[in-house]
C-alpha cells in the first residue's frame, strides 16, 4: 500500500474501533493521529493507550490486528473504582500478527478466557503485563519464545497448571510475577536460568515441593516472594548466595528444619518473612548482625530459646 492508502486504511480502522468501543473522545473532525491516546510516526499508528480515554468495559475488536505498525498497546486501569474497567471480553488472537509490538500493558481489567498462544509469536515484545483480570487456562508455554522480554506479569488471575520449565529461555527477564493464581506443581529448577532476574513473585498459589537450591544462582535477585504456597523441606542455605537480595518472603508454607545461619550473609536484606511455617531450633543470633533496620518476622513457628520480643508477623504474605 502507498503511504496515503495506509493512512486511509488506519483512519478507517480507528473509526471502526471508535464506534465498536464507544470512544467519544476520538473526534471525527480531527486527524486520527491527533486523537487522545493515539501516537503516530511517519503517519502510521504506533501507540494506543486506552487508559487516558473516557471509556469503560469495551472489548478489543479483532480488527486491531490490522494496525500493522503498532508498537505499544496499553490499557492499565488506575481508576479507584474497582467496577469501572477499561477493557472486557477476551484478547483477540489477531494481536499475534502485530510483529512490531514491544509493549502490551493491560493491567486491572475485566478480561477473561485463555491468554492467546499467538502472543508467543511477538518476538519483539519486551513488556507484557496482563495482571489482575480473570484469565483462565494454563500458563502459555509459547511465551517462552519471547526472548527479549524484560517484564512478564500474569499475576492476580485464575491460571492453573504448572510453571513451564521452558521459561529458562527468557534470559532478558528482570521482572517475573505470577502470584495469586492457582498454579500447582513444583518450582522448576530450570528457573535458575533466568540470570537477569531481579524480582520474582510467585506467592499465593498451590505450589508444592522444596524450594530449589538452584535459586541461589539468581545473583541479580533483589526481591523473592514465595509465601502462601505448600512448599516443604528446609530453607536452602544456597539463598545466602543472593548478595543483592533485599526482600525475602517465605511465610505461610510448610517449611521445616532450622533457620540457616548463612542468611546473615545477606547484608542488603531489608525484609525477611519466615512466619507461619514449622521451623524448629533456636533463633540464630547471627541474624542480629543484619542491617539494624531489617524487618525480621518469624512468629508462628516452633522456635525455642532466645527470641527477640520485637519480632512478629504483621504481613499477610
What does the pLDDT average to over 280-301? 81
3-state secondary structure of 310: coil
Q: Residue 17: pLDDT band by 50, 70, 90 thresholds? A: very high
Cβ neighbours of residue 211 closer than 8 Å, sequence gap 6 or more: 187, 226, 231, 233, 235, 236, 239, 250, 255
Q: How far apart are CA 231 and CA 94, in angstroms?
A: 39
pLDDT at residue number 36: 95
- What is the residue-averaged pLDDT of the chain? 91
pLDDT at residue number 298: 87
pLDDT at residue number 305: 78
pLDDT in tens, 194-233: 999 999 999 999 999 999 999 999 999 999 999 999 999 9
* Percent of the chain with pLDDT strictly greater than 70: 93
pLDDT at residue number 287: 80
pLDDT at residue number 290: 73
Q: Residue 314: pLDDT band by 50, 70, 90 thresholds? A: very low
Q: Which three cell numbers stand for residue 124?
A: 519483539
Q: Residue 178: pLDDT band by 50, 70, 90 thresholds? A: very high
3-state secondary structure of 75: coil
What does the pLDDT average to over 35-43? 94
Q: Residue 160: pLDDT band by 50, 70, 90 thresholds? A: very high
Q: How far apart are CA 164 and CA 143, in angstroms?
A: 10
Judge whether residue 309 has pLDDT over 80: no
Strand runs (DSSP E) across 42-99, as ranges? 44-49, 58-59, 72-74, 87-89
Judge whether residue 93 has pLDDT over 50: yes
What does the pLDDT average to over 70-90? 84
Judge whether residue 143 has pLDDT over 50: yes
Region of 247 please: left (phi>0), alpha (psi -120 to 50) or beta: beta
pLDDT at residue number 312: 55
Q: Which three cell numbers stand for residue 309?
A: 520480643
Backbone dihedral angles phi then psi of residue 73, each to the nearest 5 degrees: -130, 115
Amino acid at each position: 500500500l502507498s503511504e496515503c492508502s495506509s493512512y486511509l486504511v488506519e483512519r478507517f480502522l480507528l473509526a471502526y474501533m471508535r464506534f465498536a468501543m464507544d470512544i467519544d473522545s476520538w473526534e471525527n473532525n480531527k486527524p486520527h493521529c491527533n486523537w487522545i491516546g493515539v501516537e503516530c510516526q511517519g503517519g502510521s499508528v504506533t501507540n494506543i493507550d486506552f487508559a487516558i480515554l473516557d471509556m469503560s468495559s469495551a472489548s478489543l475488536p479483532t480488527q486491531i490486528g490490522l494496525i500493522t505498525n503498532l508498537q505499544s498497546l496499553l490499557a492499565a486501569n488506575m481508576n479507584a473504582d474497582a467496577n469501572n474497567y477499561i477493557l472486557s471480553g477476551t484478547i483477540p488472537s489477531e494481536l499475534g500478527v502485530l510483529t512490531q509490538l514491544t509493549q502490551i500493558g493491560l493491567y486491572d481489567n475485566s478480561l477473561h478466557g485463555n491468554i492467546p498462544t499467538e502472543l508467543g509469536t511477538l518476538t519483539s515484545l519486551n513488556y507484557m503485563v496482563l495482571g489482575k483480570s480473570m484469565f483462565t487456562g494454563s500458563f502459555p508455554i509459547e511465551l517462552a519464545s519471547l526472548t527479549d522480554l524484560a517484564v512478564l506479569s500474569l499475576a492476580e488471575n485464575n491460571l492453573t497448571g504448572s510453571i513451564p520449565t521452558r521459561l529458562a529461555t527468557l534470559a532478558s527477564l528482570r521482572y517475573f510475577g505470577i502470584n495469586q493464581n492457582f498454579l500447582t506443581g513444583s518450582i522448576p529448577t530450570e528457573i535458575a536460568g533466568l540470570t537477569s532476574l531481579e524480582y520474582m513473585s510467585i506467592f499465593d498459589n498451590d505450589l508444592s515441593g522444596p524450594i530449589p537450591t538452584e535459586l541461589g544462582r539468581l545473583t541479580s535477585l533483589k526481591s523473592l516472594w514465595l509465601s502462601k504456597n505448600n512448599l516443604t523441606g528446609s530453607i536452602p542455605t544456597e539463598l545466602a548466595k543472593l548478595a543483592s537480595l533485599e526482600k525475602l518472603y517465605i511465610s505461610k508454607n510448610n517449611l521445616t528444619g532450622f533457620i540457616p545461619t548463612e542468611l546473615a550473609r545477606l547484608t542488603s536484606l531489608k525484609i525477611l518473612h519466615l512466619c507461619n511455617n514449622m521451623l524448629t531450633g533456636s533463633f540464630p543470633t547471627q541474624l542480629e548482625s543484619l542491617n539494624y533496620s531489617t524487618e525480621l518476622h518469624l512468629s508462628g513457628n516452633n522456635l525455642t530459646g532466645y527470641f527477640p520480643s520485637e519480632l512478629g508477623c504483621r504481613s499477610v504474605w
